[in-house]
Structures are given as C-alpha cells and as structure tokens.
Amino acid sequence: MIGQLDAKIPPGPIDRKWANYKNNSRLVSPNNRRKFEIIVVGSGLAGGSAAATLGELGYNVKCFCYQDSPRRAHSIAAQGGINAAKNYQNDGDSVFRLFYDTIKGGDFRSREANVYRLAEESVNIIDQCVAQGVPFAREYSGYLANRSFGGAQVSRTFYARGQTGQQLLLGAYQALCRQIAAGKVEMFPQTEMLDVVLVDGHAKGIITRDLKTGAIRAYAGDAVVLATGGYGNVFFLSTNARGCNVTASYRAYKRGALFANPCFTQIHPTCIPVSGEHQSKLTLMSESLRNDGRVWVPKRAEDCAKRPNEISPPERDYYLERKYPSFGNLSPRDIASRAAKEVCDEGRGVGPGGRGVYLDFADAISRLGEQTIRERYGNLFDIYEKITAENAYKTPMRIYPAVHYTMGGLWVDYDLMSNVPGLHVIGEANFSDHGANRLGASALMQGLADGYFVLPYTLPNYLAGQIGKRPSVDHPEFARIESEVRARIERLLSTNGTRTITSFHRELGLLLWDKCGMARNAAGLREAIARIPQIREEFWRTVRVPGEDGSYNQSLERAGRVADFLEFAELMCIDALERDESCGAHFREEHQTGEGEAQRDDENFAFVSAWEYQGNGKIERPKLHREPLEFEAVHLSQRSYK
C-alpha cells in the first residue's frame, strides 16, 4: 500500500534548498563506492552522463541500451539548443528567471524545488560541456554565442549549429567511452530491459533480452536507474526515433512504480506535415527557426490553393504575431501548436489535406541576406528539401504540429527516486521538471543536469544505507520474473495470426491523435478508453509476429513494445479524463477562456496525478494518488504571452 506521497523537498527558502540538501545528504566514501553495482538503463543525455559520472566517482556501472551503440540514443536528434542562466548577454537573465520561465511555461504543474535546482545547475552544464570539447557556436571574439528560444524574453540558449543534441550526446558518449576503457562502466548495447526485479520491495535488478541473440539474462545491482526517454511513439507518428518506447517505464509501473501525469504530451508546432499513409515518422524543424521565420496562413480559405507568393501581405494572417504581440512567433510550443490547429480547423490550412501553415523566411532573407540564414539554419533547410523536394530559401516551409516530447513519466521525489526504493528515474523518463508543457531547449538541460549534477549527489543518499544488500541473481525473485518475461515472448510468437504489428500500432496512434491529441474532451476520451481494450484484445488474438526468439528478430522487438503501448494508452486517456481542467499541452475543450486559451483550475487540480497499477494479471482501473503542488516562490497566474 502506498500512503501519502512524500516528495522529500528539503527545508529552507527556494534558493537554499539544493545547497541545504547537499550539505546534509548521506555520502558514500571512495573505498565503498567500488562495492556498489549500479544499473543504468538508457544511454542518452541522462543515462550516458549519469553512467559516465557514476563511473568517474568509482561506482561499478552496467549501462544498457537498445541501440547498437550508446552514441545513437535519440537525444542525438535534438536540434535547437540548451538553456542556461549564464546571462552572458547582459539582458537580465538569472537563475530565478530561468526557473520562473520554466514553471510558467509548464503552466504551473511542475514542482518548484526541482525546477529551481534545474535552473541552478544549468550553468554548470555549459562549463562541463565546454571542458569536454563540445563545439558550441562562438562569436568572433572567441566567446560563447547565444540565441533566443520560445517562451523566453532573454537570449540564454547555447547551440552547436542545428545539431546541439548530437554534440551534447557525443560529449556524454565520449565521457562514457572513457569510463568503459577504464573498466568502470560495462556497456551492453543492443540489449533491451524487459522487466525490473524487486527484492524486499527494493529495485535490485533487471531482466534483459540480448537483441542479437535473443538471450534472456538477469542482472543484479544495488540500484536501478531508468533513463529510457519518453513515450511519444504511443501515437505511432511522432518525431521520436523508431525504437523509442515505453516498455522500461511501463514494466516498472506494473511492478509498483507510480506513473505521473501520463496525459501531458507535447505536440511540437514546427514539424514537416504528414504526406501520406506510408509515413513511418515525422520530422521536426527546430523551434529556433521561429526566431527568423514568420508563421502565417491566408486570411481567406479561398486563397489556400494559391501559391504562397501569389498571396499579398495584406491577404496573409500572421496569426501568432496578431494574437500574441509580445512573444509573437516565439510563443510557447503548446500555444503555437493549438493556434496552428485552430486556423487549419477553420479551413485556412495549406498544402495537401489542408493540415499545414507557412513558416516564411522571405523577410529575414531580405533583411539579413541568404548567407546569414544559411549559416544559422542551413542543415534544417537541407533536411526540409530532402523530405519535401522544396527549396525553403525560395518558398515558405510548410509546417504542422507533431508529437514530440512527453512531460509525463514515472513519479520521482526530490532525489529522483521513484516510490520504489532504489529505482531512480532521470531525464525525459521522469515527470518532474516540465509540468504540463516543456519550453524549448530545456530537455537537453534536464537530461544533463540529472546525469552530471543531480543523481551523483542523490544516489549516495540511498546507497549509504544499502551496503552489502545486493542480492545474487540466484535469488528466486529473479527466476520468477525471468519466467514471466519468457512466457510473454512465447505468447507473442505463438499467436500466429494474420495482422501486422504496424497495423495495430497505426490504429492505436490514429485513435490517440484524434481523442487524446492537441485537444481532448470527455466524450472522446471515454470512447478511446472503451476502444483501446478492444484493439488490445484483437492484438493478442490476431497479431502475426514472424521469426523465432533465439536470433535477431526485429518484429519480436517491435511487438513487445506495441503490446506495452496498447496498455499504456489507456492509462494516458484515463489521466486525461480525470484532469478536468486545461493546462499547458493538456487542452480540454470544455475548459477554455473566452479567447480560447487553456483555463486552469488551480483550486481543484494543482496536483501531480500519480497512478498506481492495480492489475494482478489483468488490467484494472489504476488508483490515483495526488501530490499537491505548493507554490512559495511564484505566484500562480493565468499564463499570458500577449
């Protein structure tokens, strides 16, 4: 039984909490660190930086990833940048402002203490990455350059062309490689975690499948760290990599970890629109493009079929500049996405199917010259051209929102530990820092803060009481969970039906996009909650998973992930229905202001929804726990970007 959730927020004023924590938390001495085995699942910005840093500190780390190399984790695809409150631009930035922007951007549904710590650590991340050799953009003077990003009025974003995620990940990967060479980290690529093992209520191991050979193995550790990313692929089409999945988090949830705010999913406003049914994924165009691109649609629906250059400026509706004059094209993601949906719903969308808006660089090119725009965004224009065969220097880009990031995730306390002792969750996989909407350039910040500077301080606080408590894999609990994992794989392979895995995934994705996407309402959510179990039942009856277990079998990998999405989707919809307010990316059509903005209900919903799995073999309605959100440093207000 889980009692009242305790976030374990340290005492003191907001700007002293982290310092107080560090002064008082328990430590593990260098001699004892080598006695601990830490399991890190995932090798992206959070997992890679955590594994490397824990190895550096002297712990023995085992790091697992499904990719064939830790360098390929999906953090690599992040384009625009990473925020840090360095105030190098002398434009009024501070730790408090970054904290405030993040809390406000998240529509007051994140935990103050965690977010403040994130803002504090942001400055150390830049120092660390520069020391590692991350080639951030620089001024001619040799000093670091910045650009501005959505949801902020200061320039605090550090970047490496349009490949910031790649460069930060390679920094973490190289630090990880150093620890692998030093023998402190053992790396297990192409190895997927399929379950977590609890011994006496503590997370003490995992069960994995070697994707190349099919071998199922058990690993024991003193603590388990999940850094397994987000679940955006539940929508089938998203900007996530094909392999991104919810399996590790969902397995942990089924073993008792609480899942927080699963309905908070970010729909990114600037992606290349869907072109047809063959499509396997969507491609993001960095939000940084909105620094110089102007978003518009024709004022009149009749003009939508015209070529963009045939529509004169007075006939265009620059709707973001019109509706949000002070933030304009740099409005936060949830607001920009909804505004795009709104104009398309009015029949003013452009391109095939009418689901697109223009992102136009003509003004910026005439002001700055094509060369400057090429320097800033060249690789993005190239990506756009490869996919659409259109030259965005000559004709405006067409963009439309797409699923991009998930703010929800496993519930963690201030130590980044879930309610299951020993099970820590970092990066996108946890829920803690972005509330109901994440600001641009903040995901990289969180992943690296968690891995380099938070977990290395909070993990010892748990480990200090755990010396000598690591079980052996001969403990019967490992055998029990392992046999469950094997049984599930056998069931997938033996169904031998007729429908492809893709067809189920696509069906689920379309349903969610429709009922639990950019806008939700009670009736639609109830429909989805009724429909998802039917799809799931059909999946287990009629899916065809070709091949066998004892070899490299990509269909089997995918089938297991889709099976978990089919359960998790229901949890998302239940959460979206339960949260009877609008906030950030969670837009319930029943709750909007007169101007169509999200209408929060702070009196009844200023809490984190943390769901507890209730099924014992079959899926029952999960149990809701509430962590009240208390705001001491900021004043709750209606978000305004006007």
Partner 1 sequence: MNFRLRVWRQENRETEGRLVEYEARDISPDTSFLEMLDIVNDELTERGELPIAFDSDCREGICGTCSLTINGEAHGPRHPGAACQVYMRDFRDGETITIEPFRVGSFPLVRDLVVDRSALDRIVQAGGFISARAGSAPEANSILVPKHNADRAMEAAACIGCGACAAACPNASAMLFTSAKISHLAFLPQGDPERTTRVLRMVRRMDAEGFGNCTNIYECEAVCPAEISASLIAKLNREYARASWRERFGE
- The residues assigned a catalytic role are 333
Binding status of residue 371 toward partner 1 by CB under 8 A: no
In the complex, least distance from residue 79 CB atom to partner 1, rounded to whole angstroms? 9
Q: Find the binding residues for partner 1 in span 374-393 (CB under 8 A).
A: 383, 386-387, 389
Q: Which residue lies nearer to partner 1 by CB, 119 or 573?
A: 119
Q: Which residues of 357-395 are buried (b: 16+ CB within 10 A; e: fewer)?
A: bbbbbbebbeeeeeeebeebbeebbebbeeebeeebeeb
Interface residue with partner 1 among 32, 153, 495, 503 (CB under 8 A) is: 503
Q: Find the binding residues for partner 1 in span 325-364 (CB under 8 A).
A: none
Q: Which residue lies nearer to partner 1 by CB, 150 or 451?
A: 451
Rounded Cα distance between 590 and 68, Å, is 46
Q: Provide the 10 A C-beta neighbour count for residue 217.
A: 14
Q: Which residue lies nearer to partner 1 by CB, 1 or 389?
A: 389
In the complex, least distance from residue 72 CB atom to partner 1, rounded to whole angstroms? 4
Q: What is the dihedral of CA 454, 459, 461, 467, to 10 degrees?
A: -160
Interface residue with partner 1 among 23, 90, 280, 366 (CB under 8 A) is: 280
Written as six digits, the tokens of 112 are 């103050």
Q: Find the binding residues for partner 1 in span 40-79 (CB under 8 A).
A: 49, 52-53, 56, 67-72, 74, 76-77
Q: Provide the 10 A C-beta neighbour count for residue 485.
A: 18
In the complex, least distance from residue 518 CB atom to partner 1, rounded to whole angstroms? 22
Q: Which residues of 123-159 are buried (b: 16+ CB within 10 A; e: fewer)?
A: eebbebbeebebebbeeeeeebbbbbbbbbebbbbbb
Structure letter (DSSP) for residue 628: E
> Tokens 């490496």, residue?
160
In the complex, least distance from residue 146 CB atom to partner 1, rounded to whole angstroms? 11
Binding status of residue 554 toward partner 1 by CB under 8 A: yes
Interface residue with partner 1 among 163, 265, 442, 466 (CB under 8 A) is: 163
In the complex, least distance from residue 506 CB atom to partner 1, rounded to whole angstroms? 10
Q: Which residue lies nearer to partner 1 by CB, 123 or 199?
A: 123
Q: Find the binding residues for partner 1 in span 437-496 (CB under 8 A).
A: 452-453, 456
Q: Find the binding residues for partner 1 in span 220-259 (CB under 8 A).
A: 241-243
Interface residue with partner 1 among 1, 4, 90, 278 (CB under 8 A) is: 278
Largest CA distance in the chain: 74
In the complex, least distance from residue 56 CB atom to partner 1, rounded to whole angstroms? 6
Written as six digits, the tokens of 609 are 């929804």
Q: C-alpha angle with apex 408: 104 to 565, nearest 5 degrees?
A: 150
Count of chain residues binding partner 1 (CB under 8 A): 80
Rounded Cα distance between 41 and 463, Å, is 18
Written as six digits, the tokens of 141 are 């003077």
Q: What single-letter amino acid sits at 124? A: N
For residues 380 and 286, the answer to whether their CB atoms sit within 8 Å is yes
Q: How many CA atoms lie within 13 A of 22 on its CB side?
A: 11
* Short-list 516, 510, 543, CA closest to 529: 516
Q: Which residue lies nearer to partner 1 by CB, 11 or 143?
A: 143
Q: Which residue lies nearer to partner 1 by CB, 282 or 335?
A: 282
Report how far apart, in Å, the C-alpha atoms of 396 and of each of 93, 340, 362, 389 are.
33, 15, 8, 13
Binding mask of the shown chain, residues 121 to 160, with x at each position contacting partner 1 by CB under 8 A = ---x-xxxxxxxx-xxxxxxxxxx---------------x
Q: Find the binding residues for partner 1 in span 164-223 (CB under 8 A).
A: 166-167, 170, 173-175, 177-178, 180-181, 187, 189, 212
In the complex, least distance from residue 92 CB atom to partner 1, rounded to whole angstroms? 18
Interface residue with partner 1 among 29, 312, 498, 616 (CB under 8 A) is: 498
In the complex, least distance from residue 418 CB atom to partner 1, rounded to whole angstroms? 24
Q: Which residue lies nearer to partner 1 by CB, 546 or 596?
A: 546
Q: Find the binding residues for partner 1 in span 72-101 (CB under 8 A).
A: 72, 74, 76-77, 86, 88
Rounded Cα distance between 45 and 22, Å, is 23
Q: Which residue lies nearer to partner 1 by CB, 56 or 527?
A: 56
